[in-house]
Structure 1
Amino acid sequence: MRIKEFEIIGKRLFNEGLVGGNFGNLSLKDKDGFFITQSGSYLDEPGDLKFVSMDKTVESGASSEWRVHYETYKLTEKEAIVHAHPAYSVAASFFYSEVIPEDSEGKMLCPVIPVVAGEPGSDILAKNISVALKDAPVVIAKGHGTFATGKDLKEAYLLTSIAEHACKVIYLMGGFGGLSP
C-alpha cells in the first residue's frame, strides 16, 4: 500500500492550512474498492488505512465520508480523492452556488467549482458531490469543505490548493464580504 503517499499529502495539506486538527480524509482507488483514512485520524499521520469494497463492505473505522468516495469512484474514472476544510473555500460556499476563479491557475485547472449541499457523511452529500465531480475536478460542499479528484493524491492535493487560492483571491478582490479593491 502507498501509505507514504498518504503521509506526504497529509503533511502538505496540514502545512498549507487546508485542514485543521483531524478533519478531512484521503483515499486511493484499488482494483476492488479503495483505501481511505480512518475516522478522526490526523492526515499527516494517517495510521492504518481502511478498505471499502465496491460491494459496499466498509472496514470498521473508515472515515464517515466513505460514501462520497464510494459514489465518486463508482461514477468517475478518478483514482484519488482529497477532502479538506480550507477556510476561504468554506466561506465562499455560503455566498456562491459555484465559484468562478479569477486567477490564471484557477481559470486553467478548475474554471468552475460547483458548490453543493448535503450533511457531512450523508447519502445526499455523496450523491451531490459525485454527480458534480463527473464534470469538475473539485467541488465545495457548502459549509463543509472541498472534495478534489485526480489520477493520484498529488493531483487531488494540487486541485485542493488551487481551489483555495482561487477563493482567497476572490475574497481579496472584495468578493463574499472581502476587502474592497
Structure 2
Amino acid sequence: MIQNAIEIGKLLFQSGLIDGASGNLSFREADRILITRTGANLNSLDANSFVGINHPDASRDRLVHAKIYEKTGYNAVIHCHGVFNVVLSIKKTRIIPLDLEGKLYFGEIGVISEEFGSVEYADRIADEIVKRGVAIARAHGIYSAGKDLIEAFNRACYVEHSCEVLYFLDLLNKS
C-alpha cells in the first residue's frame, strides 16, 4: 500500500493538483491509518514519509482525515490544492458542475468555510464527504475519499476538471 501511495503522490503532482510540499494523503492499512508527515513533498515520497495518524509528525490535516474515517467506510483520503477549485471556492459557496461527469458523480459540492484546524472544519468536511465522497475547503482545496487511493485520486481529478470547466465558462460569459 505504501508503494501505491508513493505513486499517487507523483500523479497528484503531475496532474497539477499539488505544488511543492502542499497536500497530504492517508490510507487504512490493516488495523492502522497511515498519513503523510507534515511538510512531506507528495512528489518525492518514500516509506519514511508516512506515520501513524496520531504521531506527532503527522500532517496538520490529521483531524480531518480522522473524522472522515470515523464517519465513513472509506479506506483512503487525499487533500490537494488544484488552482481551479481554489479560485472558484474563494467566490462561491457551492460548486455546481456543468460537465457530464461532474453532474453524474457529484451534482453539487459544498464549499466549507469554517476555520482550518477547528473541530467544526473537520466535521463539516467529513459530513460533505459522507454525501459525495468529496468536499472543497474555501481557498484551500479538495478533500476526496475512496475505497482506495486510486478512487480518491480519480474523484479529486473529476472535481478539478469540473471547476476548470466552470472557470472557463465564466470567462467566456464575460467576453
* Normalised TM-score (structure 1): 0.90
State the partner residue of 1:143.
139
| SS of match in other structure, 2:74 | coil
Structure 1 outlier segments of 4+, above 3 Å: 30-33
Name the one with the larger helix percent: 2
State the partner residue of 1:55.
none
After TM superposition, the structure 1 = structure 2 runs for residues 23-102 of structure 1, keeping only pairs within 5 Å, are 23-47=22-46, 48=48, 49-52=50-53, 58-102=54-98
- Give the whole-Å Cα distance in 1 for the aligned partners of 2:117 and 2:172: 34
Any unmatched runs of 5+ in structure 2? none
Per-residue deviation, 1:112: 1.5
- Give the whole-Å Cα distance in 1 for the aligned partners of 2:123 and 2:83: 23
Per-residue deviation, 1:106: 1.0
- Give the whole-Å Cα distance in 1 for the aligned partners of 2:168 and 2:106: 19
* Normalised TM-score (structure 2): 0.93
Per-residue deviation, 1:97: 1.6
1:18 is matched by which residue type in structure 2? Answer: L
- Give the whole-Å Cα distance in 2 for the aligned partners of 1:39 and 1:88: 24
Cα distance per residue 1:48-68 (max 9 Å; x no partner): 21112xxxxx11210000000
Per-residue deviation, 1:30: 3.4
Per-residue deviation, 1:31: 4.3
Any unmatched runs of 5+ in structure 1? 53-57
State the partner residue of 2:169.
173
| SS of match in other structure, 2:44 | coil
RMSD between aligned residues: 1.3
Contact 1:101 1:111 in 2 (8 A): yes
- Give the whole-Å Cα distance in 2 for the aligned partners of 1:163 and 1:59: 30
Q: Identity percentage over the alignment? A: 34
- Give the whole-Å Cα distance in 1 for the aligned partners of 2:158 and 2:149: 14
Which segment drifts farther, 123-132 or 158-167? Answer: 123-132
Which segment drifts farther, 113-122 or 165-174? Answer: 113-122
Which segment drifts farther, 62-71 or 113-122? Answer: 113-122
State the partner residue of 1:133.
129
User: Which of 111, 114, 117 is equivalent to 2:113?
Assistant: 117
